Amino acid sequence: MDSSQTLIIKQMEIGPMQNFVYFLGDPVTRQVAVVDPAWEIDTIRNEAVRHDWQIACILLTHGHPDHMQGVQELQRTHPVPVYLSQEEPNFYTPECRDLRRTDHGQRIQIGEIEVTCLATPGHSPGSQCFLCERALLTGDTLFISGCGRCDLPGGDARALHHSLFDVLLKLPGHTVIYPGHRYGPAPHMTLDEVQKTNPCLQNE
């Protein structure tokens, strides 16, 4: 899904691990956030230039390398703030300029739109999702056909269960899930559709 009249959201599959990198922003001011820049930073830069988008910030769903290892390189040309949950430990925190820690429910302004941070720990202590209008960027918390693993340092299966059932499944069913990897039959689906087919959401 690309730009609409009210929201820029562009999903790009980049890198060897089927990662999705996103542009999320305001079609009026053309200011955008780059979400989880880890691979092929020149591709990200060129896409912004092609659409005449102004990169205003970097949003990180969590601090695993395959979601943030390109932050420093992107900041060399775009010295913008980086938003990462305050719950993410130091060993998952990139060395970068202007790091801003987020809380659950915090709102980040991008042009004339607001992005809400939802704390969804489990895959990592500081995993978070970004909600903007009907779009929910879930990182590695929820995929179309699965959910994030919990066996890496800081992973917590009980916390992830809470994040899935008590945070994400409380959102409206028409919310569109945009995951951090292409793990499933489609790049994005509504929450209602995901709940019907995702085995991780079948039994509470």
CATH of the domain at 122: 3.60.15.10
Does 136 fall in a domain? yes
Does 84 fall in a domain? yes
Considering the entire predicted model, what is its pTM? 0.96
Total domains, the chain: 1
Predicted confidence (pLDDT) per residue in 67-76, tens digit: 999 999 999 9
Does 2 fall in a domain? no
Would you say residue 204 has pLDDT above 90? no
One-character DSSP codes across 94-163: ---SSEEEE-TT-EEEETTEEEEEEE-TTSSTT-EEEEETTEEEEETTB-SS-B----STT--HHHHHHI
Residue 65: give the domain boundaries. 8-201
| The pLDDT value given to residue 61 | 98
Does 155 fall in a domain? yes
Predicted confidence (pLDDT) per residue in 10-21, tens digit: 999 999 999 999
In terms of pLDDT, which residue wins out, 2 or 123?
123
Predicted confidence (pLDDT) per residue in 26-49, tens digit: 999 999 999 999 999 999 999 999
| The pLDDT value given to residue 202 | 86
Does 194 fall in a domain? yes
